[in-house]
Amino acid sequence: MTLTVLLLSLLASLTFGLPIAYGLLASSLLVIVLFAPGVSLGMLTQTLTTANDSFPIMAVPFFILAGLIMGRGGISKRLFDTANAFVGHIPGGVGVAAVLTAMFFSAISGSGPATVAAVGGIMIPEMVRVGYSRKFSAALIAAAGTIGVVIPPSIPLVVFGVVTGTSIGDLFLAAVLPGILMGLVLIAWAIWHARTHGVGGTGRSTWKERLSALNRAKGGLLLPVIILGGIYGGIFTPTEAAVIAVVYGVVLALLVYREMRLRDLLETFVNATLTTSALMFIVAAAAIFGRILTIENAPETIVAVLTAISDNPVVIILLVNLLLLLLGTFMETIAAVTITAPILVPVLSLAGLDPVHIGVLIIVVLSFGFITPPLGVNLFIAAGVAKVRTGEAIVAVAPGFVLLVAVGLIVSFVPALSMFLVGS
């Protein structure tokens, strides 16, 4: 009964448009008042405070800041020019370049919406120029933005690692191949669409032009190497890597590319602070919601319900995928990870999955919520940039959504895809 009231009240609050953090707090307080009056308010305030009092989770604001700096500092334009120089000449090559750029920028920002916002304004007009429709351009960029929370450094993976005590370095490594597979599937979609709709390419670049583009973008291309190489080489932690990314980004934007001024940098810091504050508030509110779930033995209850339906690992994994797909449509990814991770790790462990694999599975499937209404943040941003109606973008993104769901199932049922690099 308690669990039902908790979940229904949360769903009701979100249905009526209450912000996710307030909805989590309101549903938690309602259950405390009705069923657990002995829970002290001191415990709640302590949970709110300690939820963000973690060294690993400090990586979140720094990766957000690094992504904003690199986007404002001209890195996305240089990445696109480089990708376009190599593949732009093939039919639909600009779409391929757009996906490749989103993948590279994902390895800088760690955020889906940030990826769409940073690269959409450059790539969507270019895609339209070569013959892609505005609605398909918006759909492709929105779908490519889902990779932003999968390819490391992924902010949701950091949160999963903090919540479950799983190695963030292993999670980053495990997410590389699934993220690349998502990109390859979207590239195939872009090429197929181009060939069936007569979309051409740009002129073929000479090798001199390609090398010149590579040289202009080398600063941005090196950043993922520095971040991931430093982490896996044992030189610094993910949190320290995030700080290094910020410093590197500032030097690149101010001194090398010179596309930012000090005033722009201050504005970027303010925007990063606002974004981080909202995310951290959601994490804190989700921690209280998670504490109530723990008090009410929700993990054990859900495990019992799923095993009562079936003890077949295939069925359990499919049910979890369905749950995550539904959850991703209306709940912000950080909140969803904070709430579901402690519950789903024991559930999927029954199916024989490793916690690192579970973390990647959860993030990959939840990422699809960025292109599905009513949340659909990536889709709304891309539709706004492309100047198309949201309804048109939703219809256009449907094939990409189906392809990504297929990738999610491959990630779920082929553990070697996630664990190959971890075990090497």
**pLDDT higher at 408 or 111:** 408
d(CA 237, CA 350): 31
pLDDT digit string, tens, across residues 3-40: 778 778 877 887 777 777 788 888 888 888 877 676 67
Q: Which amino acid is at 87?
A: V
pLDDT digit string, tens, across residues 166-216: 998 899 999 999 999 999 999 999 999 999 998 877 778 899 999 999 998
Per cent of the chain over pLDDT 90 is 26
Interacting residues of 322 by C-beta distance below 8 A, sequence separation 6+: none
Q: How far is CA 401 from CA 143, 145, 218, 375, in A?
A: 7, 12, 32, 14
- pLDDT (0 to 100) of residue 107: 76
d(CA 405, CA 181): 12
pLDDT exceeds 60 at position 424: no
d(CA 391, CA 96): 24
Element (H, E) at 357: helix 355-367
- pLDDT (0 to 100) of residue 402: 96
Q: What is the b/e burial string over 105-143, where b = at least 16 CB atoms within 10 angstroms of the residue's CB?
A: bbbbbbbbbbbbbbbbbbbbebbbebbbbbbbbbbbbbb
Which pair of structure tokens corresponds to residue 249? 């980004």
pLDDT digit string, tens, across residues 226-246: 887 887 777 888 888 888 888
Per cent of the chain over pLDDT 70 is 96
User: How much is the average pLDDT of 234-260?
Assistant: 85
* DSSP for 9-50, written as a single string: HHHHHHHTT--HHHHHHHHHHHHHHHH-TTS-HHHHHHHHHH
- pLDDT (0 to 100) of residue 1: 67
Element (H, E) at 214: helix 207-232
Residue 264 DSSP code: H
- pLDDT (0 to 100) of residue 210: 92
